[in-house]
Chains A and B, each alone.
Chain A
Amino acid sequence: MQGAKLLDVTWHHVEELQEIDVDKEQKLLMKADRIIFQFPLYWYAAPAGLKNWEDKVLTRNFVYGDDNDNLGDKEFGIVVSTGMPLKDFRRGGRENITIDQMMAPYRAIADRAKMKIMPAFTISQFQYLDDQKQMQLLIDYQRYLTQKYPDTLTNRQEWFEREFTDRFKNFDGTNCTECETILNTFIQQKEDLEQLKSTISLIKQGEDE
């Protein structure tokens, strides 16, 4: 997906590596703010390439040994795609297992490394999605990679504000003035919401007194 082309995102395909240079891989992990495993679901887990990489790169000392919290300040996410409908992955569903249950081993590593765990981003039956849903998914995916966690309206607004500022120079059929008006109105809306929230919290304080 095109999210990998985003600025500040390092796309690193571990299955393509001829040889795994453990030191280099560990340094790459340490440089990141958010580490995301992305893979298609093969028999309720990631393909063997990722497991092979994990076993070599995620050494005990690096992950938690000797009081090293090399990854402790990072966030951990999973992007998983499947050809089955999402509704199959629940207790009582056709697969009778949830995505979260399957992702437990990866999260256990992340827990051990004291990373902050993000909810998994699931892509199910991509080819069956209509144009609108595919477009939405692309942007949701880009947000998953770079938006501040958790995914609240406040954080969504901030992401769109920042990205609109970066992207509008490439928009067709518009000029800067028009885009600036849109951006400023969007920001104004965001601030109006904040204002309303603080009004409510003032009223609530008054109710307690």
Chain B
Amino acid sequence: MDNNDTGVWLSKQVDELSKKQKAYENRAFLTAMKKVVGEQNERMDLLKGEVDGRLWNHEQW
């Protein structure tokens, strides 16, 4: 599993920003955006894993 430092940093920034919001809708927007950042990170891990897996395809050794 690759450690996506940028993604983790981004998630933290969005989370901190959401906690500073007084308006409900802004808080909701940033909370939902944090979830999408989480999805980005998860997809990034999966795709990087797939690249590794395909590059090490034993059938092509």
Contacts and interface: CB of A to CB of B under 8 A. Distances in A.
Contact of A196 (B22, B30, B35, B44): B44
Interface of B: 6-7, 9-10, 13-14, 17, 20-33, 35-37, 39-41, 43-44, 47-48, 50-51, 54-55, 57, 60
A174 B20 contact: yes
B23 A170 contact: yes
A171 B10 contact: no
A7 interface: no
A193 B44 contact: yes
Given A138-B28, A172-B22, A203-B54, A160 B33 contact: yes
B17 A207 contact: no
Nearest to B47: A196
Contacts of A164: 29, 33
Nearest to B59: A207
A13 interface: no
Contact of A207 (B6, B33, B50, B54): B54
A156 interface: yes
Interface in A169-209: 170-174, 178-179, 181-182, 185-186, 188-190, 192-193, 196-197, 199-200, 203-204, 207
12 contacts: A2-B25, A160-B32, A160-B33, A171-B30, A185-B10, A185-B13, A186-B33, A186-B40, A189-B7, A189-B37, A189-B40, A207-B54
